[in-house]
Amino acid sequence: MKNNDIIHTDNINDQLKNIIKKYDQEKKLIITDHNCRKYCLPVIQEIIDDTFEIFEIKPGEDNKSLDTVKQLWSFLSEKKYTRESLIINLGGGMVSDLGGFAASTFKRGIPYINIPTTILAQVDASVGGKTGINFMSLKNEIGVFSEADHVLISEVFIKSLKKREFLSGFAEMLKHALIHNDEHYSELIEFITEYESNENLKKLNSLTKQSVKIKEHYIKNDLYDKGKRKILNFGHTFGHAFESHFNLNKNLEIKHGEAVAQGIICEIYLSHKKLNFESDKMNRISNDIKNIYKIIKPKSDEFDLIHNLMTHDKKNLNDVINCVLINNNNIPLFDQEITKDDITDALNYLNSV
């Protein structure tokens, strides 16, 4: 396993200069997308010399594909990149997932750095080595676990994020807090209530730091997702089904974090129903989420479709739908079986919030 190095910095260029020193004469490739090239690449312009090349990928889930990876592998091969070369993924989760996959498979792996430019990528996608692409309409169907050699996290990129994009990533921070630390959860709610009037990036930096620490805690000794790492999927069993259902069946655009936020409401409800999670707390959390996110309520004739999507979840075992639930002592438990009736109850609760 690589010695993954996560650096939080307000001076990204100095940090980057230090890291790339050892690749002095080597070829270096920055993988990015159109928007990041425009808004984020200028931030690191001063480190770019003629040993660097840029590969721009088209944004959007449709381009997180084998075709794009093939173009990338061809580029690396034609330009004679070697195992001594370096790849820098500059962008959101799509760039680090796809760039990390291409880097980890080309010549059996060349070193790579993630510079995540969204909250979602900073606290989740860029950390923990889940790389991959979509295949045959299935999200992240092909991929490898391979940690970046370095992850550089800086709030400098967050200033240009649209509010919806920001809040989408913030849902993963709420999830980390709920599975691990009540005080951190209260701090996040207080922060977001004030954020619009006072974009406190310094505070945000300290909160993302805590969030990444929580993620690291669950990855430690379980990089390959066999046990406690599964807890990071809290909110995602329902969240992924909402994401697919509203985006594909209903043509309503819902972002990953927005879907996870309403997935958290459903899974908090089932934590209460099945493991006696405190009801006052359940209502408070549901209210907090409702105040931050616009909830898309599924109609009762959509419940079967949502249930059906949940039967395809990667975490299921022997056709049983598994979920992460939190018990009455605030301990998150993975592989908790849920039934079709549980799903109906949780969706009715979501609609009542």
Please give the residue ranges that form the binding site for ligand GLY (CB under 6 A): 124, 128, 130, 225, 229, 232
The dihedral region occupied by 77, where left means phi > 0, alpha psi between -120 and 50, and beta the remainder, is alpha
Q: How far is the CB of 232 from ligand GLY (least distance, A)?
A: 4
Q: How far is the CB of 218 from ligand GLY (least distance, A)?
A: 7
Q: Are 6 and 147 in contact (CB under 8 A)?
A: no
Q: How far is the CB of 141 from ligand GLY (least distance, A)?
A: 16
Q: How far is the CB of 115 from ligand GLY (least distance, A)?
A: 18
- Identify which of residues 116 and 298 has a Cβ nearer to ligand GLY in the complex: 116
Cβ burial 208-240 (10 Å sphere, 16+ → b, else e): bebbbebbebbbeeebebeeebbbbbbbbbbbb
Q: If you search the block for the tokens 């996560």, which residue do you land on?
A: 6
Angle between helices 182-195 and 163-180 (to 10 degrees): 160
Q: How far is the CB of 219 from ligand GLY (least distance, A)?
A: 7
Spatial distance between the Cα atoms of 307 and 338, rounded to a whole number of angstroms: 11
- Identify which of residues 225 and 267 has a Cβ nearer to ligand GLY in the complex: 225
Q: In angstroms, what CA-CA distances link 183 with 174, 207, 217, 327, 333?
A: 11, 12, 17, 17, 20
- Identify which of residues 164 and 314 has a Cβ nearer to ligand GLY in the complex: 314
- Identify which of residues 85 and 104 has a Cβ nearer to ligand GLY in the complex: 104
Q: Which amino acid is at 300?
A: S
- Identify which of residues 201 and 223 has a Cβ nearer to ligand GLY in the complex: 223
**Which residue, judged by CB position, is nearest to ligand GLY in the bound state?**
232
